[in-house]
Structure 1
Amino acid sequence: MTKLPIKAVISDLREALRTRQNAVLIAAPGAGKTTHVPLALLDEPWLTGQRILMLEPRRLAARTAARYMAASLGEKAGETIGYRVKMDTKVGPTTRVEVITEGVLTRLLQNDPALEGVGLVIFDEFHERNLHADLGLALCLQSQSLLRDDLRILVMSATLETEPVAALLNGAPVIESAGQAFPVETYYAKQLIKGTVEAAVVQTIQKALQQHNGDVLVFLPGAGEIRRVERMLVEIEWTEQVRVAPLYGNLSRDEQDQAIAPGKPGERKIVLATSIAETSLTVEGVRIVIDSGLMRVARFSPRTGMTRLETIRVSRASADQRRGRAGRLSSGICFRLWTEEEDRQLAARLTPEILETDLAPLTLALAEWGAEPRELLWLDAPPIAALAQARELLMQLGALGEDGTITSHGRQIAELGVHPRLAHMMLRAKELALGGLACELAAVLSERDFVRGERRNADTRLRIDLLHVRNNQSTPYQIDEGLRRRIWTEAEEWKRQLAVKDETGKKGDWCGLLLSFAYPDRIAQRRENGRFLLSNGRGAMFAEAQAMSMSVYLVAAELGDDVPESRIFLAAPVDIQDIIEHAGEQVKEEQWIVWDHSAQAVRARNRMRLGALILSETPLVSPNPDDCLAALLAGIREEGMRIFSWNKASKQLRERLAFLYQAGAETLEMSDEALLASLEEWAAPHVYGLKSRAELERLNMKDVLEGMLSWEDRQKLDAEAPTHIIVPSGSRIPIDYSDPQQPVLAVRLQEVFGLMETPCIARGRIPLLIHLLSPANRPVQVTRDLASFWCTTYFEIKKDLKGRYPKHYWPDDPLNALPTNRVRPRQ
């Protein structure tokens, strides 16, 4: 410990925390910050009689750090140095430093907002931006501001942008320490990986063991890849003694400890790890790092309300942390399975978890704390859409009231320390004497699947049955026995916490009901095509044939976030009557009165509905007339004005009114958009009591439109937009207003002999567009200037018309000729 670089800045850190509330410590990997800083601060005067809490982002790192510090004092964990992690606590009456993880800090703050007896809270590896760390820091800052001005906060990291954090901590001083990293020679792939990443990893491991000394630490994205690489390595005939040691979060504590412990003499150790080994841990003996460049993160979609695991490229910060594992104890080698070109494209750091995860636990924690998100200080504020989604779910679970405040049931959920969905399920199940089954379901759903195999049986009931299988019992399924034992232990711990016992009888029969408590938004109803409709309105389907595919109702516990339909990975069938009986608050009875496009009529039904699912439907005998009117008006808007029957008279009236409005007169607008927007004003009195398109088509739309006009409007309409024009022949010719920009008068040429001026409307402001017709009523000329036509164009047209219609009257002087609507004028 005498060589730890962190020792060079301890005096600066002590001085900062003596004079200020907060500080930021930046120390490179290997500097010793995790294991030395808490011990170095224990004897500070401001910490007399108080404890240090140090938040670690991972359970393995928390246990390892606590044991290392305890050993340096010649003690065991649980004495001066202790830890609290999920389902494993070692603290005692003399404990001064508690290394904690996950939601432990949040729970401590909820139980005692002032953190009495705690003098310093350390946030280690804060660059990982764990959700619990962000929440814990926000709560600690508010506690410090309102209740404990003597509480110190220290944020520690190896790779962190210091300015935003220091600003958040009220301008905290930043202390920087150099690391103790030995040189690491880095090799990049010559080309993109061809084939699977597992095969590339195995090839690189073989080459590394042949060419270099020391143990190997391999970074892979997840447990699946680790298992596949492990199987491939076991089949290799090694020339030396080799031990393969997996290392990931779901392994037992003993298995994790074996992976990070020093290897035996003469043995080469290959540690296959997820990102759990990136920080805080020193894996003994490692001099070679092989980095796949991949990691798996949980991404939450507010659009679907689902979380999915996504394999992504590591960030620049993560890649450097991984490489640094090879240089913790001596010089080392790092093989990166990506090219130098790809390396230049890596993002600087990953997106903070708070920006892309399920915020239901955070939202519940804030409700229990009694604060709105905007009242707290955040490095990155939680997204509004994800908060709204979380609040809606918590209300559905009964954890929040309509006003957003926490309920007594919500406080019980928060006390359990698991996801609100699972906690709600366990509490409801306990009321039905099904608490033991709920604890087992919660444990199964909290971990990755312990049933292996290419063709995946999606039945959750199978997992409950296999959970009770022991090593000496035969089963056709491949079981990850270590993980099964871990899940069993977790279930037993929750049973003790809830004080429930195993129930007798067929447990599987109740799986669907219990899952409906946890996932009320994922109750699914079978469609005719074999797919399912979820109660949240989304579609879902099994990726491959399942016995459950024919179930009328089921509950999907695990879904993929696919578009347009999610794949169902875990589910259980459910009897809808059980849901109605035990979760009746989810089922709504309603009168459903809507416009049915296919029937072109208003449909009125009594419906029993669960979210988007229609459980039953019967005709509504006497629907409310006002509701029927609203549905009919909605139907009119959906179908458009074409739903009405427009005869010649009603069509002309509407076109005249449209022309008048276009010409600038203060009258009603007649566009489809305007009429549809004002249906309640003009249509409602005429359609009240009607229910179908057939009835609407019987309306006299001319009378309806005229009913909209005042006496002044009618006078103006007749004066400025007349229906007809009397031409020199004496004929009364209708005006065509189909184009409100330019009304048309279509008249036979011979009927306007002698008409010098073009007829105008709108009190002489707008000339009509004259369509001059042949005796066969075909246009021969279009003009707005009759005078010019008579002087020029008429004589050219006359030659053609006289040849085709020799019996008709074609005078040489059209301005002084007699107009006629006959073949020739009367003599």
Structure 2
Amino acid sequence: MYTDLPIQAIIPELQQCFREQDTAVLIAEPGAGKTSVVPLAMLEQPWLEGKKIVMLEPRRLAARSAASRMAAALGEKTGQTVGYRVRMDTRVSSGTRIEVVTEGVLTRMLQQDQGLEDTAMIIFDEFHERHLHGDLGLALALESRAMLRPDLKLLVMSATLDPAPVSSLLGEGTRIVHCAGRTFPVETRYVPKPAAVELESWTARTVIRALTEEQGDILVFLPGAREIHRTERELMQASLPAQVNVHTLYGSMAAEKQDEAIRAAAEGWRKVVLSTSIAESSLTIPGVKVVVDAGLSRASSFSARTGMSRLVTLPVSKASADQRRGRAGRIAPGVCYRLWSEEAHGALPDTARPEIASADLAPLALELAAWGVQSPAELSWLDIPPDAAYAQAQALLRQLGGLDDAGRITPLGRRMNTLGVHPRLASMLLRAAELGLASYASTLAALLQEPAGLRSGSASAGGAGVDLRPRVEALLAAGSSAMPPAAGADGAAVRRMLQESRQLCSALGGPAADPVQPDEDSCGLLLSFAYPDRIAQRREDGRYLLSSGRGVQLGVIESLSRSAYLVAAEADDQGADARILLAAPLQEQTVLRAAQHLLHEEVQVAWDRTTRSVRAHKRQRIGALIIKESPAAQPPEEQVLEALLTGIRLEGLDMLPWSKTSRQLADRMHFLHKHLPEWPDLIEDHLTDELAEQLTPYLTGMRSAADLKRLSMHDVLLGGLSWTQRQQLDEEAPTHILVPSGSRIPVDYSNSDDPVLAVRLQEMFGQQETPRIGGGRVPITLHLLSPAQRPVQVTRDLANFWRETYFEVKKDLKGRYPKHYWPDDPLEATATNRAKPRTT
């Protein structure tokens, strides 16, 4: 039973560790055998006390493979002492003591029994992959230990993980155990892809080169199924050496095809396995001595801003590249061909970004709410979920009905959390069951989880069209007859989707056939339950606006292009308007029916610059979408007032009815504000807050620029002044100045920094100093006028004018106006507003 593996050397230390404490971190290099040996080594430990060991594997294939190897080591079949639980496939029995599970399954187990009373130990294998459910499972397990099960043993295992942060998270005293691996030397050859050559073509060339240069089987790492199948076609069209089989390996393949890919090649044959990162760790493919690595991986990246996810292809980390390289040295010295340069390798990140930092957190938020946690900060994490993405996830769950306004899980949310699908699909399934459409919704949900598995629809789109309805009909037809899948369909994917559909329908308790016959609107209606934020309304230019406010568009003209409403189940989230990938149409009546709980009625009151009046509209809206709009007869008066004030701000103060008297009053008040800051700032070149407050009592019943003409701005301005302020205004900013001639001359305050008194020079005889206002602080600028009312001098220093300038001015004026009075001593002369002073 694996007596020759390096891990055996540290098993006594590990066993002793768990006899003394309850947590540990095991760092075992590739080839050490940790996955197959450690769980078996714990089976007979006294602390197990008849309970079981649960080992978490990030991937289904790795879980089934690990369980199979351990069962074989015991001389048993899978499902006896060692079993597994993965999505849609379970092999356990009453005698099972080691259960290998995938991440989502562990979360389900913890939710159903927070104390995991029948479990003594949880092992987190390949934890360096940092999948979302792995981080969640560890957080929940730590909480279970802290609150209910202090004896629950936790072991975190990895080949490349930095052990210090995990050890700290597990608690003080957590021991870190190291184990050397058993790998043979691997030669690294950098063969960078030329820029002009397609990845799949270069990969195929490199594989053919490796088949020629090296012995043994070849494991090829590519980012996704699309690249795998393209490379497969390239290889099939090339001149492969004799007796070489090409296999594909990725997560959504049928289990039997996966098993065939990792099985040893027949004697005398060589195999090439084209794989995603699924083969990066936990799997040993017999016979592999060569690795060809494209250096890329594909992951889902979620945008909290748009609420959408998109698949992105990124360079792998150095740790992942080393894991892949190590696959070539499991059984003998090997070779790794890297399709990038040595310089590019140096620029790779050391480790991959944890999924929790970039994933859609709606499933996590629902799990935490079901656990009884409203904030992630209540649990212990290696990396706490980002605030923005978590807030967006909670907002979506409120829309779906899974959370209440306080962030607590609702009865509907609890039912959603038992279905094992994304909360969007769970909400759709439960609402569909209420409508008698459980079977149809289950088929739709299965399809949405694997949309590429069934191709139908618009040929102009290059294969599968955007409209989901033909795909659903095709899958329903495949499930109700023995007919083979439609042309272009992936038969294994169709069978898997049908199995998923049946399981979901069974979980809903629905009959095999729906009591309600689906119609053309059923697909869109059900999608709206899952994607309330992606109900889309057609714009005039043919593009669409989502209820979330995001712009989207159809990439090509097709049957949906004229639909007034769509539900976009999937979009690429790129550019100003994301391209819709999957959708179904809706009628307006269906929109109102589907989103009744999201429908918001409001009266919008706004200033219309065209009519220069306040217009009020009654609107029914779902998020950013205006579904219906009609005039509102009696809008709230406070909204009308605010809109009217907005109009004044937009149009400017000239829209108000200024008379000469009111304008002078405004200028006087502004003058005092400039020189006495405690005075209210009523008049600027825009509507100030103070003036808006003054206007408000006078605007009742007004809705347009024409109505404003009834205002008396003089009354408005004076109305805001106290008796004391009015007295001060008259004293410090008088409307007129009494001059020596006895005339009352108006003061021009239009320039608040420089008030002007325009007065005939002869009326100022006898005035020695310049008149001052503003409590004596501001000298008036005198425009001294000729008898013809033209300025002959502008001054703020009257005394200096009499002393220095008057006599030059007198010579000129006396010659032009000989009949007027031009005394030699202006300070002793009698001021007059006539040509000459009156004689008595």
Question: How high is the TM-score relative to the length of structure 2?
Answer: 0.90
1:193 and 1:200 in contact (8 A); partners too? no
* Equivalent residue for 2:471, pick from 463, 466, 472: 463
Correspondences of 1:357-756 after superposition (within 5 Å):
357-372=359-374, 373-451=376-454, 454=462, 456-468=464-476, 478-500=488-510, 501-503=512-514, 505=517, 508-581=520-593, 583-633=595-645, 635-636=647-648, 641=653, 643-670=655-682, 676-677=688-689, 681-726=693-738, 733-745=745-757
Question: Contact 1:193–1:337 (CA<8 Å) still a contact in 2?
Answer: no
8 Å CA contact 1:802–1:808 kept in 2: the answer is no
Relative distance call for 1:804 and 1:45 in structure 2 (3 A) is: farther
Cα distance change of structure 1 residues 64 and 817 upon mapping to structure 2, 3 Å threshold: farther
- Give how far 1:274 is off: 1.6
Residue identity matched to 1:354: I
Q: Distance in 2 between matches of 1:814 and 1:212?
A: 122
Q: Which of 206, 209, 217 is residue 208 of structure 2 equivalent to?
A: 206
Alpha carbons 1:287, 1:330 under 8 Å: kept: yes
Question: Following TM superposition, by how much is the alpha carbon of 1:221 offset from its aligned partner in structure 2, in angstroms?
Answer: 1.6
Q: What's 1:102 paired with?
A: 103
Indicate how the Cα distance of structure 1 residues 516 and 724 shifts in structure 2: closer, same or farther if over 3 A, else same. same
Indicate the larger mover: 192-201 or 71-80: 192-201
Q: How has the CA–CA distance of structure 1 residues 492 and 772 changed in structure 2, closer, same or farther, with 3 Å as cutoff?
A: farther
Quote the Cα distance in structure 2 between the aligned partners of 1:749 and 1:266.
123
Are the aligned partners of 2:85 and 2:91 in contact in 1 as well (CA < 8 Å)?
Answer: yes
Q: Give 1:700 shift.
A: 2.2
Q: Quote the offset at 1:643 in angstroms.
A: 4.8
Segment of structure 1 superposing worse, 2-11 or 243-252 = 2-11
Counterpart amino acid of residue 513 in structure 2: D
% identical equivalent positions: 51
Q: Could you tell me how far 1:377 is from its partner in structure 2?
A: 1.2
In structure 2, the partner of 1:310 is: 312
Higher alpha-carbon deviation: 413-422 or 315-324: 315-324
Per-residue CA deviations over 1:49-83 (Å, capped at 9, x if unaligned) read 11111111111111111111111111111111111
Q: How far is the alpha carbon of 1:6 from its aligned partner?
A: 2.1
**What secondary structure sits across from 2:418 in the alignment?**
helix
| Structure 1 residue 91: Cα displacement | 0.8
- Residues 755 and 139 of structure 1: is their aligned pair in 2 closer, same or farther, counting only changes over 3 Å? same
* Greater shift in the superposed pair: 436-445 or 157-166: 157-166
Corresponding residue for residue 458 of structure 2? none
- 1:751-799 Cα distance to aligned partner (Å, 9 max, x none): 7677653432211112345567899988887654455566668899999
Letter aligned with residue 472 of structure 2: I
Cα distance, 1:716–1:816 mapped onto 2, change above 3 Å = closer
Contact in 2 for aligned 1:798/1:810 (Cα 8 Å): no
Using the alignment, how far apart are the partners of 1:236 and 1:493 within structure 2? 43
For 2:210 and 2:85, the matched residues in 1 are separated by: 38
Tell me if the contact between 2:762 and 2:832 (Cα under 8 Å) persists in the aligned partners. yes
**Matching residue within 275, 284, 287 for 1:285:** 287
Q: Look up the equivalent residue of 2:562 and give its one-letter code.
A: M
Answer whether contact 2:439 2:505 (CA < 8 A) is retained: yes
Equivalence for 1:267: 269
Q: What amino acid maps onto 1:87 in structure 2?
A: M
In 1: Cα distance, 2:538 partner to 2:144 partner: 50
Q: 1:212 to 1:592 in 2, by over 3 A?
A: same
CA distance in 1, matches of 2:337, 2:498: 38
For 1:318 and 1:803, locate their aligned partners in 2 and report how far apart those are by CA, in whole Å. Answer: 104
Instruction: Kindly provide the CA deviation profile for residues 203-233 of structure 1, in whole angstroms up to 9, marking residues without a partner as x.
Output: 2222222222222222222222222212222
- Provide the rounded CA distance (Å) in 2 between the counterparts of 1:20 and 1:148: 14
Partners of 1:193 and 1:338 within 8 A in 2: no
Partner of 1:158: 159
Q: Which amino acid aligns with 1:405?
A: R
Map of 2:186 onto structure 1? 184
Give matches, 1:246-261, under 5 Å.
Answer: 246-261=248-263
Q: How many Å apart are 1:742 and its aligned residue? A: 4.7
Q: 2:302 aligns with which of 290, 296, 300?
A: 300
Report the Cα offset of residue 32 of structure 1.
Answer: 1.5
Please, what is the CA RMSD of the aligned residues?
3.3
* SS across alignment from 2:286: coil
Q: Distance between the aligned counterparts of 1:750 and 1:220, measured in 2?
A: 101
2:38 maps to 1:37: yes
* Residue correspondence of structure 1 range 121-140 to structure 2 within 5 A: 121-140=122-141
- Does 811-820 or 660-669 show the bigger shift? 811-820
SS across alignment from 1:63:
helix
SS class of match (2:597):
helix
Q: Which residue of 2 aligns with 1:21?
A: 22
Q: Helix, strand or coil for the counterpart of 1:30?
A: coil
The one-letter amino acid of 1:361's match is P
In structure 1, distance between residues paired with 2:690 and 2:289: 77
Match of 1:223 among 213, 217, 225: 225
Q: Determine if contact 1:640/1:676 at 8 Å carries over to the other structure.
A: no
Render the CA deviation track for 1:321-364: whole Å, top value 9, x for unaligned: 22222222222222222223322222222222222211111111
Report the AA paired with residue 401 of structure 1: D
Could you give the per-residue CA deviations for residues 586-609 of structure 1, whole angstroms, max 9, x where no partner exists? 334444444445544333333333
CA distance in 1, matches of 2:491, 2:165: 46
Provide closer, same or farther for how the CA distance between residues 817 and 143 of structure 1 changes in structure 2, counting only shifts above 3 A.
same
Cα distance in 1 between the residues matched to 2:447 and 2:541: 30
C-alpha distance in 2 between matches for 1:487 and 1:18: 46
CA gap 1:118/1:474 in 2 versus in 1, 3 angstroms: closer
Contact 2:446/2:500 (8 A) holds in 1: yes
* TM-score of the superposed pair, with normalisation by structure 1: 0.92
Partners of 1:336 and 1:296 lie apart in 2 by 17
Structure 2 CA distance for partners of 1:641 and 1:226, relative to 1, 3 Å? farther
Count of aligned positions: 826
Counterpart residue identity of residue 394, structure 1:
L
Q: How has the CA–CA distance of structure 1 residues 698 and 543 changed in structure 2, closer, same or farther, with 3 Å as cutoff?
A: farther
SS at match of 2:498: helix
Describe the shift of the 1:505–1:782 C-alpha distance in structure 2 as closer, same or farther (beyond 3 A).
Answer: same
- Cα distance in 1 for partners of 2:489, 2:821 equals 104
In the alignment, the residues of structure 2 paired with residue 25 and residue 305 of structure 1 have an alpha-carbon distance, to the nearest angstrom, of 38
Q: CA deviation at 1:620?
A: 2.6
Unaligned runs of 5+ in 1: none
Indicate conservation of the 8 Å contact 2:821/2:837, yes or no.
no
